[in-house]
Every structure is written in structure tokens, then in C-alpha cells.
């Protein structure tokens, strides 16, 4: 029998990759269509929209999935449905409030210079309905995730992004003759049909599953009867720390945006040179970091309801087993990504960005992949046990470490922008270690032996991939050489993982779709 947790993680990973691809294509097309000025207008409005979403609904899917998973684990299906109904009503209210707030504040932000170009006003205003619809979407996604049904949220995310991209490009193209302000607003408006499409998909899946859930509700045993106030209070207590943690992500970006160029100035770089170096970090290296972490984000999201259900039933062994598997998968994904990004930094920079000047930053930021991946997965385990505030305070402390490290390392003339990369590494290492410590307090140990074996496999893979690239480069060129090096590295790594016994035959067998086929290659 396949593990719901593993299947859910794989489904969300595929969805995350597809959404990223759609987003990348969208940025390319819009950049060509609107140019730097038009994209600038759009980017002035979009962060405020994301801020409203983070405040109003970012923590809702996690909070709902935790409580629903608890109810389902106890057989209280009626209680699980009540959680959904209460959350849906609350999110309609909150979504409307924050949408109206954003609409009302749009003019104020322009008047007081928070948005420096008044032409971005239209783009900000048209985004306000999307806050309302996205808040409702959060309730549905949390409900499905609580049942560990990841296909509906995954399909809705893909369709939402697809419709959004098509609408953005089409509206920007049609409105471009009326000026860049209208074209940027048209692109921003694409978020509305996108969120509506996602809502339609989840409503469809909800109606399909409704009969099954209703039949379970009839015979369900209500173990705890919570009134509306108690339920709303619990939702808020779980959701607020997650939302605050999400708010820290743009705050961290703002810290980098302010400190890095200034510290580079202290290191002796002129404004233009400092801006260029900052571009290597924020525009080239960091997107690669985030792309590498799509699987670990999915593992964490799938782990939350799985751990929550086990925690509710008091099955400590199951909590340990699921967290151990999640951490193993995290290491199996992030360690080769780290070593691969380090070993192939120069060809990656050359092929993707047309310059090798970003290679040093890409290589030195690579350790962040494994540190941040561990933090994300351990956060999922802690959230599943109801400890949603722990990762939030860890991120606050980590941000403090980042600021101090940025100030000293980036200001060093020898390190300069590489120092900024290592400030990120230190930040994510600290928060990962603290999360692991809190898991230790719950008697959940980190798989060090697995980490050592995986690191060995990843080092060999990185060395052979680099050697392979150097050997074939004179004959096939950079693009094909990079693809061949990645292919060689992937084959070598897969063989080593199976032969070193990093995963047991039973663990491999549980992998969705390919587990049974790979099981016979595992060394016993």
C-alpha cells in the first residue's frame, strides 16, 4: 500500500514544478511585451498584493490541515466538515476586509510615495478582488490537505497559474495601445481569473467528494464539541505564526535589498558595480536556490497533516517514522542539488544567464539548499505537532544572524558578494539546527548516518559531473555539455544511492509509481 504522505509530496512537487515553468514563461513573455518600464509598474503593485495575501490567508491551509487531520484521525468527520465551514466563512470576511483595505490604501500609498510612480495605481487597484478569492481558496486547500488528498490542490494550482498567465499576457497585449499603465494593470488583473479558475476546480473536487464525506459524517463519533469561538480561536492561534513566518520572507528580501548594496559600497564598490553584484545574488543565484527547494516545500506540506493525524492518536512511532522518511528524502534531494550547483556553477551561469560572472555567487550559495531544505521539512513536522510558533521565532532569530553576517562579511573587500551568500548560508544553518534541536526534544533524531552516505554519493556525483563536463565541452558546446554532465551525475547518483543502502527496500517500495521497479536494485 502506498504511503499517502509520499504520494502527496510527489503530486505537490510535480504541481510546483509546472507552476514554476508557467511562471518563468510568463516573465519572459511579459518582459518582451512590456519592457523594463512596464514590468517595473507591475512589480511596484504586486508586492503589496502578496503582503495582503500573507497577512490574510498564508497560514490558513496549514492551520486547517492540522485541525482537519486531527478530526479525521479520531473519526470525527462531522467535526472536520465543521472546521471547513467555519474557516470558509471566516476567510470570506477576512478576504473582503483585506481586499477593501488594499483598495482604500492604494491612493494613500501613491500619495505618500510608497509607490513612487502613480501609474502603478491601476495595477494595484485591479488586484484587490484577487485577495478575496485567494482567501477562499486557502480554506478549500487546507480542507483537502487535512484529508491528505493532494491531487485537488495540485490541479487547482496548475490551472490557476495557467489561466493567470494566459489572462496576463492577453490583457497586457490588448491594453498596450492605451499605454503602459493600462497594460501593467491588465497583467495584474490576470490574478483574478486565475484565482477563480482555481476556485472552480476545488469546488468541483469538493462536490465529487461530498457524498463520500457525508456518508462518513453520518456514522462519525464526535469526540470533542468545539463552539464557534473556540474553533475560530484555535484556527487563529495556529495560522498567525505561519502567516508571520511568511511575512518574514519579504522582510528578509528587503534586508538584502537595503544592506547588500550598502555593504558593497563600504567594501569599495561604486554604485553601478554594487548593483550588478547584487543582481548576481538576487536575480541569478537565489532563483536557482528556490527552484531546487520545490520538492522539500512539497514534502513539508504533505508531512503536516500526516504528522498531525499521528500526533492526535498518540502514535509516537509513526511520527518518528514519517519524519525520518521525510528527512531522508530531503537529504536525498538537497545534497546532490547542493553539490551539483557547486560543481557546475560556471556552466549553469553561462548557459542560463549568458555570463560566468555569477558563478562564484551560485557556487557559494549552494549550501543554503540543504540547510533551508532541512528547515522546511522540520518545520512541517513541528507544525504537524501544533508547534507553529517555533519555526516563526527561529526565523526571527535567523534574520538577526543574517543582518550581522551581512554587515561584516559583505563589507569585507575580499569576500564582497560572496560574503552575502555566506550570510544566507549561516542564516539557514542556524534555523535548521534550532528546528532539529526542538525535534530532539520530542525524541525525534536526525538521520546522521543517512546524511553521511548521501553526502558521499553526492560528492562522487558532483566530481564526475564536473569531470564529464570538462571532457565533452570541446566537442559539444556549453548547453549540450551541461545536459550530458547532469545526466551522467544523475545516473551515478541513483546507482550509488541504491547500492549504499541509504534507503531500505521497504522504503523504496513505498515510493509512488516507481518503487516496486526500483526495489530489486536495492542492496540488502
**Which of 387, 415, 445 is at the close of a domain?**
445
Q: Are residues 373 and 484 in the same domain?
A: no
Q: Are residues 129 and 268 in the same domain?
A: no
3-state secondary structure of 297: helix
Q: Are residues 433 and 456 in the same domain?
A: no
Output the pTM of the full model: 0.88
Encode pLDDT of 341-390 as tens digits: 999 999 999 998 888 989 999 999 999 999 999 999 999 999 999 898 99
Q: Are residues 22 and 104 in the same domain?
A: yes
Q: Are 388 and 300 in contact (CB under 8 A)?
A: no
Q: What total number of domains does the chain contain?
A: 3
Q: What is the pLDDT of residue 1?
A: 38
| Residue 229 in domain | no
Q: Are residues 73 and 151 in the same domain?
A: yes
Q: Are 55 and 234 in contact (CB under 8 A)?
A: no
pLDDT at position 135 over 80: yes
**Which of 445, 467, 494 is at the close of a domain?**
445
| Residue 221 in domain | no
Q: Are 109 and 127 in contact (CB under 8 A)?
A: no
| Residue 234 in domain | no
Average pLDDT, the chain: 87
Encode pLDDT of 425-441 as tens digits: 999 999 999 999 999 99
Q: Are residues 481 and 334 in the same domain?
A: no
Q: Are residues 281 and 179 in the same domain?
A: no
Q: Are residues 74 and 196 in the same domain?
A: yes
Encode pLDDT of 190-209 as tens digits: 989 999 999 999 999 988 88
Q: Are 162 and 20 in contact (CB under 8 A)?
A: no
Q: Are residues 321 and 384 in the same domain?
A: yes
Range of the domain at 518: 447-524
| Residue 219 in domain | no
Tell me which residue of 360, 455, 369 sits closest to 416, measured CA to CA: 360
Q: Are residues 463 and 427 in the same domain?
A: no
Q: Are residues 176 and 257 in the same domain?
A: no
Count of CB atoms situated within 10 Å of the CB of 396: 14
All cell numbers assigned to 151: 491531487
**Which of 445, 470, 505 is at the close of a domain?**
445
| Residue 26 in domain | yes
Q: Are 391 and 379 in contact (CB under 8 A)?
A: yes
| Residue 153 in domain | yes
Q: Are residues 425 and 523 in the same domain?
A: no
| Residue 120 in domain | yes
| Residue 53 in domain | yes
Amino acid at each position: 500500500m502506498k504511503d499517502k504522505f509520499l504520494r502527496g509530496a510527489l503530486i505537490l512537487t510535480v504541481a510546483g514544478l509546472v507552476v514554476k515553468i508557467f511562471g518563468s514563461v510568463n516573465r519572459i513573455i511579459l518582459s518582451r511585451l512590456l519592457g523594463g518600464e512596464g514590468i517595473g509598474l507591475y512589480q511596484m503593485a504586486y508586492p503589496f498584493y502578496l503582503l495582503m495575501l500573507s497577512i490574510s490567508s498564508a497560514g490558513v491551509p496549514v492551520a486547517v490541515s492540522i485541525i482537519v487531520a486531527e478530526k479525521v484521525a479520531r473519526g470525527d468527520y462531522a467535526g472536520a466538515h465543521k472546521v471547513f465551514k467555519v474557516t470558509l466563512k471566516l476567510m470570506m470576511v477576512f478576504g473582503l476586509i483585506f481586499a477593501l483595505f488594499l483598495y482604500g490604501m492604494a491612493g494613500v500609498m501613491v500619495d505618500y510615495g510608497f509607490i513612487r510612480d502613480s501609474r502603478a495605481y491601476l495595477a494595484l487597484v485591479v488586484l484587490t478582488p484577487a485577495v478575496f478569492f485567494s482567501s477562499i481558496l486557502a480554506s478549500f486547500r487546507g480542507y483537502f490537505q487535512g484529508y491528505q488528498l493532494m491531487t485537488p490542490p495540485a490541479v487547482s494550482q496548475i490551472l490557476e497559474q495557467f489561466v493567470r498567465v494566459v489572462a496576463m499576457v492577453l490583457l497586457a497585449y490588448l491594453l498596450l495601445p492605451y499605454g503602459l499603465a493600462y497594460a501593467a494593470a491588465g497583467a495584474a488583473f490576470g490574478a483574478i481569473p486565475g484565482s477563480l479558475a482555481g476556485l472552480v476546480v476545488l469546488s468541483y473536487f469538493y462536490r465529487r467528494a461530498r457524498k463520500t464525506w457525508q456518508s462518513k459524517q453520518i456514522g462519525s463519533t464526535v469526540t470533542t464539541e468545539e463552539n464557534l469561538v473556540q474553533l475560530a480561536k484555535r484556527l487563529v492561534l495556529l495560522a498567525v505564526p505561519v502567516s508571520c513566518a511568511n511575512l518574514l520572507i519579504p522582510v528578509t528580501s528587503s534586508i538584502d535589498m537595503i544592506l547588500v548594496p550598502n555593504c558593497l559600497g563600504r567594501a569599495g564598490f561604486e554604485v553601478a558595480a554594487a548593483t550588478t553584484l547584487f543582481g548576481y545574488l538576487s536575480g541569478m543565484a537565489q532563483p536557482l536556490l528556490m527552484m531546487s527547494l520545490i520538492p522539500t516545500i512539497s514534502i513539508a506540506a504533505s508531512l503536516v497533516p500526516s504528522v498531525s493525524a499521528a500526533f492526535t492518536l498518540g502514535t509516537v512511532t509513526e511520527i518518528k517514522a514519517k519524519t525520518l522518511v521525510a528527512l531522508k528524502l530531503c537529504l536525498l534531494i538537497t545534497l546532490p542539488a547542493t553539490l551539483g550547483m557547486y560543481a557546475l556553477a560556471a556552466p549553469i551561469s553561462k548557459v542560463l544567464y549568458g555570463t560566468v560572472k555569477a558563478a562564484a555567487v551560485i557556487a557559494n550559495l549552494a549550501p543554503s539548499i540543504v540547510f533551508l531544505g532541512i528547515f522546511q521539512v522540520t518545520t512541517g513536522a513541528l507544525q504537524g505537532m501544533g508547534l507553529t510558533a517555533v519555526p516563526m521565532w527561529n526565523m526571527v532569530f535567523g534574520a538577526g544572524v543574517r543582518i550581522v553576517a551581512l554587515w561584516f562579511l559583505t563589507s569585507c573587500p575580499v569576500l564582497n558578494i560572496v560574503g552575502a551568500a555566506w550570510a544566507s548560508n549561516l542564516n539557514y544553518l542556524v534555523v535548521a539546527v534550532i528546528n532539529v534541536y526542538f525535534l530532539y526534544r520530542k525524541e525525534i533524531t536526525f538521520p546522521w548516518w543517512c546524511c553521511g552516505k548521501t553526502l558521499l554519493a553526492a560528492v562522487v556525483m558532483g566530481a564526475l559531473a564536473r569531470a564529464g563536463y570538462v571532457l565533452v565541452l570541446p566537442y559539444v558546446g556549453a548547453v549540450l555539455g551541461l545536459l550530458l554532465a547532469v545526466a551522467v551525475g544523475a545516473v551515478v547518483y541513483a546507482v550509488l544511492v541504491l547500492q549504499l543502502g541509504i534507503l531500505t527496500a521497504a522504503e523504496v517500495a513505498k515510493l509512488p509509481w516507481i518503487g516496486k521497479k526500483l526495489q530489486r536494485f536495492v542492496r540488502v
